[in-house]
Amino acid sequence: MEKKDLMEKIVSLAKRRGFIFQGSELYGGLQGTWDYGPLGVLLKNNIKAAWWKKNVQERGDMVGLDAAILMNRKVWEASGHTKFMFDDLVECKTCHHRFRKDKVGDKCPDCGGEFSAAKPFNLMLETAVGPVASDENKTFLRPETAQGIFVDFSAILETSRRKLPFGVAQIGKSFRNEITPGNFIFRTREFEQMEIEYFCKPDEGMRIYEAWRQSRLAWWKGLGIKDENIKFYEYRKDELAHYSAGTTDILFAFPFGKDGWDELEGIANRTDFDLKAHAKASGQELGVYDEETKEKVVPYVIEPSAGVDRAVLAFLLNAYEEIEGGRSTTTDSNKEVETVLRLHPALAPYKAAVLPLSKKPELSVPARELAAALRGRWMVDYDEVASIGRRYRRQDEIGTPYCITFDFDSLEDNKVTVRDRDTMAQDRVSIAELEAYLAAKLKY
Ligand code: GAP
């Protein structure tokens, strides 16, 4: 399949099956915003939960934070965002459309017109806090979650009684007034980030940076991203930001971007730049007492920062497969193109679907009861409409790993048929043992 076609298929599937809708669509939309529908919110929550489990729950050296989106304007002055968070903007002299300079050629892509000279454009979205829209009340919607962690550094250190090295994880919304949002949910004006700020002694910075690079790559691969779809791009010395001692982007084979690769996550050794900047601007010391040297040190910080929305897009693209002529054994599905979303079970919106063979109450009543019992533990769908082959295909298309068929024999033998999405193997499992059977399969 052509890469461009794959993107169209994902956008269409996302809309048709309720993963992702255009934001404010009823009123013509709002550019750069997207809404996650009934299945999208489940996928997104599962990605965030898998990230939190790996990076907080399973490690003894990480704590969490949920800082406010609105912060004192002084934060953005100290961090450098009011001075440096600019993109160069060019405007077409003929049609007046505006573009990011580094994303277009010499002529306007819409009408071929000439561009004006580039002007710097600040990406932060301004707002006023309080009933008066004065300059004093002006602040910004945060363009990254990271600053909340730096500003709360001392409070976290004191209350969690941590010693170096330790890290803080945070998931939350960020906002950037992107000049050209696009490529579906890849570049948007409102998005979510999963960020880690890992604090360590300065001389351990590069070792820990390398460990995080490997750990983050392993996380993506562990959730099913294929080797051929993911790689590192390590910045050359002359490409590094002035505060960075090392930066790597984790790139995904998106069906757009430079040479078909674009950024999924950034990992940087930000040195002591951020804590020092906030210490200077606030007049408060932001350091850790080192028992060995009996001195205060300002830690270095390693920052793995991933976009949730880009993760959703990458996992959908990576999992999408079409099978010409179908693969089901049921006759009604022959010769059709079948879509299978081979999502990792940890990410699949529904872990199982209960499908009674007929919608007669003899089968539908106990089948509904079975679905209700399983819902104590997992998100479980129930579907009794259309042929069983069609219902399997509906579940394959949204990535449900297990379909549970309740048939007339189930009334006699108290067993159901469990069908595996990927292998299509069918197991006959006793209802009493079904939860344990699924739990063993869904162990991750
Ligand atoms: N605190 C570091 C930081 O914010 P970044 O590279 O600007 O670094 C980190 O952003 C991640 O956030 C990116 O790798 C990307 O996944 C996501 N991201 C950034 N801007 C985005 C946008 N406009 N739309 C969607 N995701 C975005």
Q: How would you write 323-364 as a 3-class SS string?
A: ECCCCCCCHHHCCCCEEEECCCCCCCCCCEEEEECCCCHHHH
Cα 278 from Cα 274, distance rounded (Å): 6
State the DSSP H helix or E strand holding residue 305, giving kind and residue range, or none if neither.
Answer: strand 300-307
Report the first-to-last Cα separation within the chain, whole angstroms: 31
Q: Whose CA is nearest to atom 18 of ligand 1?
A: 307
Using the mean position of ligand 1's atoms as its centre, give its distance from the Cα of residue 50 in Å: 19
What strand order describes the sheet that includes 119-122?
98-100, 86-91, 119-122
Contact, 264 vs 237, CB < 8 A?
no
Q: Which of 141, 144, 185 most suits a substitution to test ligand 1, by most atoms within 8 Å of the C-beta?
A: 144
Which atom of ligand 1 has the smallest separation from the CA of 144? 4
CA–centroid distance, residue 162 to ligand 1 (Å):
28
The whole model's pTM is what? Answer: 0.96
Q: Report the candidate in 395, 406, 390, 393 with the shortest Cα–Cα distance to residue 356.
A: 406
Q: What is the DSSP string of 103-148?
A: GS-SS-TTT-PPBPPPEEEE-PEEEE-SS---GGGEEEE-S-SHHH
What SS3 state is found at 404? strand
Q: Report pLDDT for 276.
A: 98
Atom of ligand 1 nearest to the CA of 265: 14
Distance CA 227, CA 240 (A): 26
137-156 mean pLDDT: 97
Distance CA 319, CA 398 (A): 10
Atom of ligand 1 nearest to the CA of 192: 26
307 C-alpha vs ligand 1 centroid, how far in Å?
Answer: 6
Per-residue pLDDT, 331:
54
pLDDT band at 201 (very low <50, low <70, confident <90, very high): very high
Ligand 1, atom 6: closest residue by C-alpha: 266
Distance 177 CA to ligand 1 centre (A): 12
**C-alpha–C-alpha distance, residues 388 and 395, integer Å:** 11
Residue 110 Cα, ligand 1 centroid: separation in angstroms?
27
The per-residue pLDDT for range 323-373, each reduced to its tens digit, is 988 886 555 555 679 999 999 999 999 999 999 999 999 999 999 999 999
- Residues 222-262 have pLDDT tens digits of 999 999 999 999 999 999 999 999 999 999 999 997 789 99
Q: Which atom of ligand 1 is nearest to the CA of 186?
A: 25
Secondary structure element (H or E) that encloses residue 373, with its range? helix 361-374
CA atoms within 13 A on the CB side of 293: 7
Least confident of 60-74, 122-136, 187-201, 401-415: 122-136
406 Cα: distance to centroid of ligand 1 (angstroms): 46
Instruction: Give the pLDDT mean for 174-184.
Output: 96
Residue with tokens 């934060």: 75
Q: Is 332 within 8 Å of 389 (Cβ atoms)? A: yes
pLDDT value, residue 200: 98
Instruction: Please state the φ and ψ torsions of residue 263, each to the nearest 5 degrees.
Output: -75, 130
Interval between CA 176 and ligand 1 midpoint (Å) = 9
| Mean pLDDT, rounded, for 389-395 | 96
Tokens of 343: 């999502």
Max CA pair span of the chain? 79
Chain-centre distance for alpha carbon 337: 29
Task: Pick from 193, 212, 244, 315 the residue to mutate for probing ligand 1's pocket: most ligand atoms within 8 Å of its CB.
Answer: 193
Looking up tokens 């004191």 gives 158
Q: Rounded to the nearest whole angstrom, what is the distance from the C-alpha of residue 124 to the centroid of ligand 1?
A: 13
CA-nearest residue for atom 14, ligand 1, is: 265
Q: How confident is the model at residue 46 (pLDDT cuts 50, 70, 90)?
A: very high
- Token pair 């990458």: residue: 314
* CB contact at 8 A, 410 and 429: no
Integer Cα distance of 444 and 438 in angstroms: 12
Q: What is the DSSP letter of 157?
A: H
Residue 92 pLDDT: 95
Residue ranges around ligand 1 (CB below 6 Å): 144, 146, 176, 178, 187-188, 191, 193, 195, 263-266, 303, 305-307, 309-310
For a mutational test of ligand 1's pocket, the pick from 185, 263, 301, 308, i.e. the residue with the most ligand atoms closer than 8 A to its C-beta, is: 263
User: Nearest C-alpha to atom 17 of ligand 1 is from which residue?
Assistant: 307
Average pLDDT of the chain is 95
**Which residue has a Cα nearest atom 22 of ligand 1?**
187
- Collapse the DSSP code of 43 into the 3-class scheme (helix H, G, I; strand E, B; otherwise coil) and give the result: helix
Instruction: Give mean pLDDT, residues 425-441.
Output: 98
3 state DSSP class of 381: strand
| 41 band by pLDDT with thresholds 50, 70 and 90 | very high
Name the residue at shortest CA distance from atom 19 of ligand 1.
Answer: 307
